[in-house]
Amino acid sequence: MKRCLVALHLMLILVAGCTSELDGGPAAPKGSVAVSVHGVNYSGDPFKFGVAHPNAGEDTGVGEHIGPFSAGGTVCCFNLPEKWKPGIKLTVYASHWVGKGASNGADTVDKVHTVELPPYADGQAGELWVMRTAEGGLDVVSSDLQPDHPQWPGKIKGWPEPSLEYRRKRWALLHKNASAYLKNYEDLLKELEETPERSLKESWDSDQKYEPDEIKNFFGFNDPCYADYLKTQLTEGKQYWQARVQQSLKERP
């Protein structure tokens, strides 16, 4: 019985020691409060950041990756002083990519920013917002409000709005994608008309591998009903992507 009581006592100690982690991580130092971190990117370049205290050494801090003209999620957590005072400095490790994006061999630009935390709007520490400006600078704000709130204390108001250049670039990619799909269906219909046996055999082999349930009622690639089925599928696909291409042309920024 005594042995059981000792084991129970040890378990209670372990549970007590883990409480702070189960509640969201180790407690903030005295005089500080743990807040969530958000990133907002008002520029046309992909952007990554990590925010840290100046005395954090090699720690690159808390942050995330954000696409052009976008906002990130919620990252936990960063310790801020409960009460603001002049001269609070933060270190922001920032990277952005010029060219095709972070994963396409673009040039990476790394920079370490030292920024001063502006006064807390309501006298208390709020969530920490790290914002890359349209010009490539960095701003930080501590607030529980969002950028589109009427009482948002930051210099930049509202959420990012994509530039015309960026919207046209995105449109060109989507239009190119739709056009490629349309051409693929047109080519497949042409092959079905010019070389029906080979086209039917190739489609049958593909359907057997990837969509067997769709062709279970046909006896083979030379089933006339399968030929009708395939032609209908390809014709409907062509019509769908024709409509997408036409709609894309109407929506060009």
Q: Percentage of the chain with pLDDT > 90?
A: 77
Rounded Cα–Cα distance for residues 247 and 46 (Å): 28
Whole-number pLDDT of residue 21: 34
| Mean of all residue pLDDT scores within the chain | 86
Please report, for the chain, the start and end positions of each structural domain, with discontinuous segments joined by +.
30-159, 165-250
Dihedral of CA atoms 17, 23, 27, 32 in degrees, nearest 10, equals -170
Contact 120, 126 (CB under 8 A): yes
DSSP 217: T
**C-alpha separations of 74 from 37, 189, 194, 218, 238 in Å:** 6, 48, 56, 52, 42
Whole-number pLDDT of residue 123: 87
Q: How would residue 13 be classed by pLDDT, with cut points 50, 70 and 90?
A: very low
Whole-number pLDDT of residue 146: 96
Looking at per-residue pLDDT, the higher value among 65 and 18 belongs to: 65
DSSP string, 41-102: E-SSS-EEEEEE-TT-TT---EEEEE-TTEE---EEEEEEESS--TT-EEEEEEEEEESS-T
- Residue 14 confidence (pLDDT) above 80: no
Whole-number pLDDT of residue 8: 37
Q: What is the per-residue pLDDT across 33-82, written as a single tens digit (0 to 9) for each?
A: 999 999 999 999 999 999 999 887 666 688 999 999 999 999 999 999 99
